[in-house]
């Protein structure tokens, strides 16, 4: 490989993170650990509406425009079919059905007629395609809820065809044969439906905070990721990069030796991690149950494989999304039972439906316009407005747990004060749920955790929202990543207050936010008095390995040091100096 | 002209997989094929967008029309496609 012009190379592993944009290295927030190297593949952006324009008007023009439109639609259909086949080969038959239906839309005879009429009238191919799609778009959008969801599929087909006609990149993740680093402004869930984890070696996004969809997806897939990375959007297609998802760096044009060193450190870490098994505990045997965050029965297997001792956060929203009516009691009970049966010796903490804000549900619309939905009627506030939804869910949970040995705990999201905690505990008691708890996400609840503790049996700190509210920094805004950092000493203080109040009243205090997945922060949380940690399954092994190499006293010293710091970065550095075994794991 | 009334027994209605199979079967037919909800306007059965837009749901009745020698055989195939998922209902 020829050497490029000499450029100052950041010392790999140097303590001072290079400023963003320094030669050769981009710095963002590392949100999913690991190292990946490969060429950049970019996700193309949105496709603009083609201008209303006419072609030359001669019969030749009509024929040429018509041929272009037909060719574009046929190419789109063939591409979608091929994607469907690949998805099916990877075991995702559901994605194949969606993609096949989309291919049929591209070849629809009614659509073709509409395009031909418009081209015959003088409209350009791109505009004719756009307008012909619009007719069906309106029809589907006006029909029932199922069809409204198909509008997204239809728009995607339209954008693909229009992009081809305008010579623009086709939206979505391009097809590649070799492993690559996926780079985007941000990733929509739709972009990732057909991602093959064996092909994507790392994610890098310009936007998105540590709790964005990209970050969560990356951790779930076990792929290294750096988000909120300024300059990422300017990386040229094909540029070789080395991504360190723990350090948050993207090295441009890395030397072979550098890649090898990074991959070998990563491999050492993987082997040490694989060697730690069994229940979570510190080096001196202080038990810290390690639990998994799951979205439903489909995530249970990964949790068990990662050695989860139970579930610390079962997000039940997925059962309720994309439907006009709540799931039936029987459907809920069946889903809950599948999860509960998987952990006969452990515990499963279920979060009651957390709707509103960024997770609106068709059958629980907000009562009015909310200019600031994150501060609106969401979580328990929404459930209090619809008590029948809460009691149906609690009832289904109680029936699902009947006769099982698992310990079922149910917690309310977005609790602020004593009245809310009491009301939730009462609803649980009425439904026959023995172990009610609350999430600590609102700073008011953390500050007065001592008042809330007697009302319920346990706390679970949701660090993502707690950080968002404590620092007044929206989770989805990449520019605020510095403030969406659970290492902010103010956030550590709130966790400490919560854990102390729990200890005083002999209640458990877990953490189920993404902070628990940061191995160094996990040690600090244990030092602050947190009693269990719950995270995405792929993060469990490394956290288990790091905990097993530190004593409770070391964790406590790290916690004291971090709380004494005046910034998130200082807190990290202070904690690191008290946790000597991090280096063994290349952290 | 052959015509058949079919009650939709598949839970998802004439959407998703049943709709795709229905339109594929219609597209294979050599003649024009139309479909309508009982009392509604007939649409081209070979158009996935028109069939989806009809929004025929579980329990509703549709009328499929085809003309020609093999019309009965085509209608058999279409009826089977409509209720391909009725078995697990």
Domain containing A72 equals 59-166
Contact A100 B48 (CB under 8 A): no
Domain check: are A161 and A203 in the same one? no
Does residue A100 belong to the interface with chain B, where contact is any CB pair within 8 Å? yes
Contact A110 B52 (CB under 8 A): no
Give the integer Cα–Cα distance in Å for A530 and B81: 57
The mean of the pLDDT values for chain A is 87
Domain check: are A241 and A300 in the same one? no
- The three-point CA angle A247-A541-A414 to 5° equals 80
A333-347, A349-363, A446-460, range with the lowest pLDDT: A349-363
Q: Name residue, tokens 């910034």.
A: A567
Q: What is the pLDDT of residue A13?
A: 34
Domain check: are A310 and A456 in the same one? yes
Edge-to-edge, what's the strand order for the sheet holding A29-32?
A: A25-27, A249-252, A240-244, A35-42, A180-184, A200-205, A225-227, A29-32
Give domain status of residue A398, yes or no: yes
A41-45, A241-245, A445-449, B27-31, range with the lowest pLDDT: A41-45
Checking if the pLDDT of A339 tops 90, the result is yes
Domain check: are A376 and A511 in the same one? yes
Active-site residue list of B: 15
Identify the closest residue of chain B to A138 by CA–CA distance: B53
Which member of A97, A109, A140 has the closest CB to residue B53?
Answer: A140
User: Is A86 within any annotated ligand binding site?
Assistant: no
For A318-355, give the secondary structure using H, E and C. Answer: HHCCCCCCCCCHHHHHHHHHHHHHCCCCCEEEEECCCC
The alpha carbon of residue B15 is apart from the nearest alpha carbon of chain A, in Å, by: 8
CB A215 within 8 A of CB A248: no
Which residues does chain A have within 8 Å of residue B57's beta carbon, measured at their own beta carbons?
Answer: 144
Checking if the pLDDT of A380 tops 80, the result is yes
| Residues of chain B with confidence (pLDDT) below 70 | 86-89
Give me the architecture of the B2-88 domain, per CATH. 2-Layer Sandwich (3.30)
Domain check: are A467 and A407 in the same one? yes
* Angle separating helix axes A125-142 and A109-120, nearest 10 degrees: 130
DSSP result, B46-59: T-HHHHHHH---TT
Distances (CA, A) of A581 to A77, A546, A573: 54, 7, 14
Residue A346 banded pLDDT, cuts 50, 70, 90: very high
- What's the rounded mean pLDDT across residues A407-417? 98
Torsional sign, CA A437, A442, A447, A448: negative
Checking if the pLDDT of A227 tops 70, the result is yes
Contact A144 B57 (CB under 8 A): yes
Which member of A100, A144, A146 has the closest CB to residue B20?
Answer: A100
Give first-to-last CA distance, chain A, whole Å.
29
Give the integer Cα–Cα distance in Å for A386 and A373: 17
How many folded domains does chain A comprise?
3
Checking if the pLDDT of A98 tops 90, the result is no
CATH of the domain at A255: 3.50.30.10
Q: How many CB atoms lie within 10 A of CB B72?
A: 12
Q: What ipTM is given for this predicted complex?
A: 0.93
B 33-72 residues with CB < 8 A to A: 43-44, 46-50, 52-53, 55, 57
Q: What is the pLDDT of residue A250?
A: 96
Share of chain A above pLDDT 90, in %: 59
Domain check: are A319 and A443 in the same one? yes
Domain check: are A244 and A303 in the same one? no
CATH of the domain at A86: 1.10.274.10
Check residues A329 and A371 and name the one with the higher pLDDT: A329
- What's the rounded mean pLDDT across residues A94-98? 75
Torsional sign, CA A170, A171, A176, A181: positive
Q: What is the pLDDT of residue A23?
A: 52
Question: How crowded is the C-beta side of A413, counted as CA atoms within 13 Å?
Answer: 27
pLDDT digit string, tens, across residues A232-262? 988 988 999 999 987 789 999 999 999 998 8
Checking if the pLDDT of A369 tops 60, the result is yes
CB B59 within 8 A of CB B7: yes
DSSP result, A239-267: -EEEEETTTTEEEES--HHHHHHHHHHHH
Check residues A42 and B43 and name the one with the higher pLDDT: B43
Does residue A151 belong to the interface with chain B, where contact is any CB pair within 8 Å? no
User: Is A441 within any annotated ligand binding site?
Assistant: yes
């Amino acid at each position: 490989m020829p050497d490029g012009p000499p450029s100052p190379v950041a010392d790999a592993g140097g303590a001072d993170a290079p400023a963003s944009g320094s030669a050769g290295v981009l710095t963002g927030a590392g949100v999913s650990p690991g190292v990946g190297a490969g060429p950049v593949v970019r996700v193309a952006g949105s496709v603009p509406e083609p201008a209303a324009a006419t072609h030359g008007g001669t019969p030749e023009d009509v024929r040429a425009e018509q041929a272009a439109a037909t060719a574009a639609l046929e190419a789109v259909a063939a591409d979608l079919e091929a994607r469907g086949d690949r998805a099916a080969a990877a075991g995702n038959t559901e994605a194949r059905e969606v993609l096949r239906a989309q291919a049929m839309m591209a070849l629809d005879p009614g659509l073709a007629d509409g395009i031909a009429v418009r081209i015959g009238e003088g409209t350009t191919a791109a505009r004719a395609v756009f307008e012909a799609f619009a007719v069906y778009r309106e029809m589907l959008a006006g029909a029932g809820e199922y069809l409204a969801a198909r509008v997204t599929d239809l728009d995607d087909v339209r954008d693909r065809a229009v992009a081809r006609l305008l010579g623009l990149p086709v939206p979505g993740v391009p097809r590649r044969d070799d492993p690559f680093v996926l780079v985007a402004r941000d990733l929509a869930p739709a972009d990732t439906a057909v991602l093959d984890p064996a092909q994507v070696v790392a994610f890098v996004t310009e936007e998105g905070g540590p709790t964005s969809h990209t970050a969560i997806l990356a951790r779930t897939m076990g792929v290294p990721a750096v988000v909120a990375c300024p300059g990422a959007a300017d990386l040229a297609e094909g540029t070789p990069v080395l991504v360190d998802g723990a350090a948050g760096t993207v090295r441009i044009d890395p030397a072979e030796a550098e890649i090898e060193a990074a991959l070998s450190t990563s491999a050492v870490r993987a082997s040490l991690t694989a060697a730690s098994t069994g229940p979570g505990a510190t080096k001196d045997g202080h038990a810290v149950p390690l639990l998994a965050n799951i979205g439903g029965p489909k995530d249970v297997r990964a949790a068990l494989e990662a050695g989860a001792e139970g579930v610390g956060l079962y997000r039940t929203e997925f059962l309720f999304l994309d439907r006009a009516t709540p799931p039936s009691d029987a459907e809920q009970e069946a889903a809950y039972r599948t999860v509960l049966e998987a952990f006969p010796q452990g515990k499963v903490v279920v979060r009651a439906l957390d709707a509103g804000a960024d997770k609106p549900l068709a059958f629980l619309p907000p009562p009015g316009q909310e200019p600031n939905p994150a501060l609106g009627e969401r979580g328990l506030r929404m459930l209090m407005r619809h008590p029948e939804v809460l009691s149906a869910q609690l009832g289904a949970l109680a029936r699902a747990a009947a006769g099982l040995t698992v310990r079922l705990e149910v917690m309310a999201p977005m609790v602020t004060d004593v009245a809310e905690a009491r009301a939730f505990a009462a609803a649980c008691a009425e439904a026959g749920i023995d172990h009610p708890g609350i999430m600590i996400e609102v700073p008011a609840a953390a500050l007065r955790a001592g008042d809330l503790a007697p009302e319920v049996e346990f706390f679970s700190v949701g660090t993502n929202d707690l950080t968002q509210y404590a620092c007044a920094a929206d989770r989805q805004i990449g520019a605020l990543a510095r403030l969406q950092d659970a290492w902010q000493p103010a956030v550590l203080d709130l966790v400490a207050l919560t854990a102390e109040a729990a200890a005083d009243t002999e209640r458990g205090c877990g953490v189920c936010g993404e902070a628990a997945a940061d191995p160094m922060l996990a040690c600090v949380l244990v030092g602050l008095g947190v009693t269990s940690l719950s995270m995405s399954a792929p993060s469990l092994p490394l956290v288990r390995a790091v905990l097993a190499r530190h004593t409770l006293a070391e964790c406590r010293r790290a916690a004291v040091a971090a709380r004494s710091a005046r910034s998130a970065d200082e807190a990290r550095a202070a904690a690191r100096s008290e946790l000597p075994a991090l280096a063994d794991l290349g952290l | 002209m052959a015509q058949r009334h079919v009650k939709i027994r598949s839970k998802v209605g004439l959407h998703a997989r049943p709709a795709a199979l229905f339109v594929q079967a219609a597209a294979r037919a050599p003649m024009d094929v139309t479909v309508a909800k009982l009392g509604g306007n007939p649409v081209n059965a070979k158009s996935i967008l028109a069939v989806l837009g009809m929004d025929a749901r579980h329990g509703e009745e549709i009328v499929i029309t085809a003309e020609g020698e093999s019309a009965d055989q085509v209608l058999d195939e279409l009826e089977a496609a409509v209720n391909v998922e009725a078995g697990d209902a």
